[in-house]
Chains A and B, each alone.
Chain A
């Protein structure tokens, strides 16, 4: 039954994307050639339990894509599949395909470590290391960088990452202080900087503001826009905050739980369209607050 739901939604969605690209009032939706991550028939199973089923989703390059949906709908599960964070977790099976710039992420030849260096991730709770601010950002470069960088190169990259994460001005005079001396919002931006320092293409954020106050949340939201508009990253953000999705994203994907309690993708499209003119009743119910 939910199968039917998904299969009818998928072609529809593709049409929305194509149509949306032609609309001039909508945010610029890239053509198919600018798809950064192409997710095909992705199913993720924890032990016996299907957490998400048959996800088909294209993440446009250099845009913010928001994944929204009620808690438990598999948003985090889907996000973590994109950079193979499920790999070392016992009992998790991932089937289907994820293509990064057309290259399979789950190919037999592909090193998950390489994937994760190209697709960075920021988590729900800020999780800096028990080290100095500088060392946190430099960690991915100095400790297990692919090639050895000179001290100057490291310092330059740390500064660039901190600037891109909109944190430089606040910490430039105290780089050797422990990361734990920062506020929660600053710590979260530090985690963004840490992810940016290894120079990924894609940044995944899993409810990055759910542990933050409104002001810090605003900064992170602004940062997500800057990452895309000024620095050309592709950003995918999971949030259960619809206003946040509406504020920051170009494209919104709505997930929910189907009758068998598996997460499914209901609808995806330009954010403005999803919030003003959803095609699926379930999306409408969710964004108008009738459920979830």
Chain B
């Protein structure tokens, strides 16, 4: 670093770097990074173009309109937005606590012998294709859920609690979709939690252990604070998956573009509405509205990811700064 024999060593260094592939590798990596940006621009561009007719017809009111009637040429995104957000929120709410607990168990509590097989099983859960989850939902979960939970609950409480109102007809609906999505994002949250917990430095655990902390106290005071940012990140990854999940949601949510306060009633998500209707559109406005909806969905996931980043930054910043 210090200036001794600069000219010789500099050209020598350049030659070395070229020969060892440093520069070419940098160029290659940079190219791929720009390809990602280009892809993103292209996709947004196509969606923008394709949605021109619908944007002209409805403008931003598209976001607040509730009618979705292809025959009458009426299109509004609100029911799809509502279904997307509510089903994903249910999924996150249901999956986060057990997912984090599984992560804690795998990283810290599980006997060494069980850790490998259990981790593998969690990863397998993430590898199941979503259409299989959908099928399982249709053939196994919905019949059970309708008979054992939805019908009795809506009969007992439906009159007083609008969220749980009946009559339960098909059994498909928001809550069922939320539950299936929860199962699908559970492995993501569990695996990320496990990973971020297991990189918590040993010296932090040991500091607490040596003070006479119990296992739970070590988890509570050393592991969770240290890993919080990563766990939030894992939850947001799961949320992202739930927001965009198409196949399983399409199969179990009932595909009804309608806002009903009851979680037992059929609904739709943006992704499932697009997937179920795009192949059979008759008018240009219809397909254009679906592309517009895709654009909206993209914005929603972008928003969710940005919020996640913000949270992670804030948490990481707080942990690294004062106190």
Contact = CB atoms under 8 A, between A and B. Distances in A.
A4 interface: no
Q: How large is the interface on A (under 10, 10 to 19, 20 to 34, 35 or more residues)?
A: 20 to 34
Given A91-B112, A125-B203, A127-B204, A144 B217 contact: yes
B323 interface: yes
Classify the interface of chain B: helix, strand, loop or mixed: helix
Contacts of B222: 129
Interface string A90-115: 11000000000000000000000110
B211 A116 contact: yes
Contact of B214 (A90, A130, A140, A144): A144
A195 interface: yes
Interface string B308-320: 0000000000011
B12 interface: no
B204 A85 contact: no
Contacts of B212: 113-114, 116-117, 140, 144, 198
B204 to A, nearest CB: 7
- Most chain A CB within a 10 A radius of its CB, from B204, B211, B222, B323: B211
A88 B319 CA distance: 27
Contacts of A113: 212-214
Contacts of B207: 123, 127-129, 191, 194
B221 interface: yes
A91 B115 CA distance: 13
B1 interface: no
A291 interface: no
Interface in A48-93: 83, 85, 88, 90-91
B209 A116 contact: yes
Contact of B211 (A114, A130, A139): A139
Interface string A170-199: 000000001000000000000100110010
- Most chain B CB within a 10 A radius of its CB, from A88, A114, A129, A194: A129
A131 interface: yes
A202 to B, nearest CB: 12
B210 A121 contact: yes
Contacts of A85: 206, 209-210
B215 interface: yes
B7 interface: no
A235 to B, nearest CB: 15
B111 interface: yes
A120 B209 CA distance: 10
B209 A143 contact: no
Interface in A143-160: 143-144
B26 interface: no
A90 B322 contact: no
16 contacts: A113-B214, A116-B209, A116-B211, A116-B212, A120-B211, A127-B204, A129-B204, A129-B207, A130-B319, A139-B221, A140-B213, A143-B221, A144-B213, A191-B207, A194-B211, A198-B212
